[in-house]
């Protein structure tokens, strides 16, 4: 009976692995297939003649490279601006209890519940009034606004993790408040800042809906928009490069998650207060 239970558990685990894994395997397999094999009416799991030509083809597409560069610019601008404006606020929130703390947390929750359409229509009107529709500046503005609440919440957690005593000790040693911040708090905060930067970068890099509404002009499309438009009437021959480009577009998120996982673990250990 026990052995039967074990076997059942393994069967279930294998079923999960198959369900979760098979689309990924298929994406890889498609990315490695030649256009001729894609035309084959009886597709197989393993590419008969694996090739990296699809990746080269993806890089050769003017649209894709251009939109990847635009995505990069938007994501970099979003992450830097987000961290620069939320760091002081995060510090204030972590070190001083105020009504704003609760308001900020409340807003994070509210913004989850309300349908995006209620925000995006007025936002579109605001951008139109500022003449920022179909500009990267407009999109950065929108992305910063939407990443901000969560970034703020992340950062204030990291600030809280820096013991106040350290700051005070620096003051005892004669350092001014600003110096205490710069030489004691800042280095300890650096990993948290990096994590927040990465989070903002990924959110912006992956974002689709706001880009769809704000960037009306296909000439300024970001990567997700271009990927969606990639499959044209040419049909299956373009699926290989599409799969390759999709894989490349996923790399930043994967790197982020790999880093975050390690940080999560070390963060948990750091949580046990060190003397």
Among the listed residues 3, 4, 46, 99, the single contact to another protein using CB under 8 A: 99
Return the residues of window 49-78 that contact another protein according to CB under 8 A. Answer: none
Return the residues of window 100-159 that contact another protein according to CB under 8 A. Answer: 100, 107, 111-126, 141-142, 144-146, 148-149, 152
DSSP 167-196: HHHHHHTT--HHHHIIIIIHHHHHHHHHHH
CB of 79 to another protein, least distance (A): 14
> How many residues bind to another protein according to rule CB under 8 A?
93
CB of 180 to another protein, least distance (A): 7
Among the listed residues 53, 65, 76, 92, the single contact to another protein using CB under 8 A: 92
Q: Which residue, chain included where needed, has tokens 């002081």?
A: 88
Quick one: which of 88, 206, 98, 95 has its CA closest to 152?
88
Cα-Cα-Cα-Cα dihedral of 88, 93, 96, 98, to 10°?
Answer: 130
Among the listed residues 4, 46, 62, 96, the single contact to another protein using CB under 8 A: 96
Return the residues of window 18-47 that contact another protein according to CB under 8 A. Answer: 19-24, 26-27, 29-30, 38-45
CB of 213 to another protein, least distance (A): 6
On whether the CB atoms of residues 127 and 141 are closer than 8 A, the answer is yes
- Residue among 52 and 108 whose Cβ is closer to another protein: 108
Measure the CA angle with vertex 49, ends 23 and 28; round to 5°: 20
Q: How far is residue 176 CA from its own chain's centroid?
A: 37
Return the residues of window 172-211 that contact another protein according to CB under 8 A. Answer: 172, 177, 180, 205-206, 208-209
- Residue among 96 and 274 whose Cβ is closer to another protein: 96
Q: Could you give phi then psi for residue 17, rounded to 5 degrees?
A: -60, -40
- Residue among 65 and 259 whose Cβ is closer to another protein: 259
- Residue among 40 and 183 whose Cβ is closer to another protein: 40
| β strands within the chain, DSSP E | none
Distance CA(189)–CA(70), nearest Å, equals 30
Instruction: Show the binding pattern over residues 228-267: x = contacts another protein (CB under 8 A), - = does not.
Output: x--x----x--x--xx--xx-xx--xx-xx----------
Distance CA(151)–CA(90), nearest Å, equals 9
On whether the CB atoms of residues 222 and 74 are closer than 8 A, the answer is yes
Among the listed residues 102, 164, 179, 265, the single contact to another protein using CB under 8 A: 164
């Amino acid at each position: 009976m026990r052995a039967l239970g074990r076997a059942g558990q393994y069967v279930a685990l294998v079923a999960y692995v198959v369900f979760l894994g098979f689309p990924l395997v298929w994406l890889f397999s498609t990315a490695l297939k030649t256009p001729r094999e894609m035309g084959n009416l009886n597709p197989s799991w393993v590419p008969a003649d694996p090739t990296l030509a699809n990746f080269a083809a993806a890089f050769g597409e003017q649209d894709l490279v251009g939109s990847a560069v635009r995505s990069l610019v938007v994501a970099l601008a979003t992450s830097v601006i987000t961290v620069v404006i939320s760091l002081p606020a995060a510090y204030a929130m972590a070190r001083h209890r105020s009504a704003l703390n609760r308001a900020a947390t409340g807003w994070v929750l509210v913004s989850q519940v309300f349908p995006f359409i209620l925000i995006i229509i007025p936002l579109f009107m605001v951008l139109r009034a500022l003449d920022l529709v179909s500009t990267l500046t407009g999109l950065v503005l929108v992305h910063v606004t939407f990443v901000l609440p969560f970034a703020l919440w992340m950062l204030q957690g990291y600030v809280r993790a820096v013991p106040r005593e350290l700051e005070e000790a620096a003051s005892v040693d004669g350092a001014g408040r600003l110096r205490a911040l710069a030489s004691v708090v800042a280095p300890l905060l650096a990993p948290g800042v990096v994590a927040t930067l990465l989070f903002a970068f990924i959110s912006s890099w992956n974002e689709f809906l706001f880009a769809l509404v704000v960037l009306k002009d296909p000439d300024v499309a970001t990567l997700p928009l271009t990927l969606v438009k990639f499959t044209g009437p040419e049909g299956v021959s373009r699926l290989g490069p599409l799969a390759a480009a999709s894989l490349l577009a996923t790399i930043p998120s994967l790197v982020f998650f790999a880093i975050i996982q390690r940080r999560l673990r070390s963060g948990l250990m750091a949580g046990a207060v060190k003397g």
